């Protein structure tokens, strides 16, 4: 486990600051396999996880859903046959907050023990 994956999310209000450019550069190094995507002007973290079949992909989706619900911070999850795309961003601030990086790191921890990973 990493220090980032062990951190807890803080409550994020609509006036919470987005990560600065310096914070972004530091935090993205801690989750190197994640990509930054910009959709409708909103910066998001995204990663694709591959699985042997739909059953394993769905189990991973549910596991990510459980950690999201526990922290009250919810990703976009696209579950397909053998593939799950996980997208983290803070809806309330329309961009990236430290919470998103924490949850991306936690998602990686869940993936380490996920059955059926390719």
Q: What is the pLDDT of residue 16?
A: 86
Instruction: Please report the DSSP string for 43-60 in residue order.
Output: EEEEEEEEBSSHHHHHHH
Residue 36 lies in a domain: yes
Residue ranges making up the domain that contains 33: 18-112
CATH number at residue 60: 3.30.1360.20
Residue 78 lies in a domain: yes
Residue 49 lies in a domain: yes
Residue 32 lies in a domain: yes
Number of domains present in the structure of the chain: 1
Spell out, as residue ranges, where the chain has pLDDT lower than 50: none
**Structure confidence by residue, pLDDT tens digits, 57-69:** 999 999 999 999 9
pTM of the predicted model, to two decimals?
0.94
**Which 3 state secondary structure label does DSSP give 117?**
strand
Q: What is the pLDDT of residue 32?
A: 93
Tell the burial category of 77 from Cβ atoms under 10 Å away from its Cβ (0-12, 13-18, 19+). Answer: middle
Q: Which helix (H) or strand (E) holds 37?
A: strand 35-39
Residue 98 lies in a domain: yes
């Amino acid at each position: 486990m990493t220090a980032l994956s062990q951190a807890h999310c803080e409550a994020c209000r609509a006036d919470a600051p987005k990560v600065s450019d310096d914070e972004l550069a530091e935090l993205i190094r801690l989750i190197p396999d994640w990509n930054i995507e910009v959709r409708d002007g909103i910066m998001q973290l995204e990663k694709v996880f591959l699985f042997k079949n739909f059953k394993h992909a769905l189990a991973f989706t549910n596991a990510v859903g459980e950690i999201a619900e526990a922290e009250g911070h919810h990703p976009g999850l696209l579950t397909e046959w053998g593939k799950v795309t996980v997208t983290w961003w803070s809806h309330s601030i329309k961009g990236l907050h430290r919470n998103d990086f924490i949850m991306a790191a936690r998602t990686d921890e869940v993936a380490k023990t996920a059955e059926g990973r390719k």
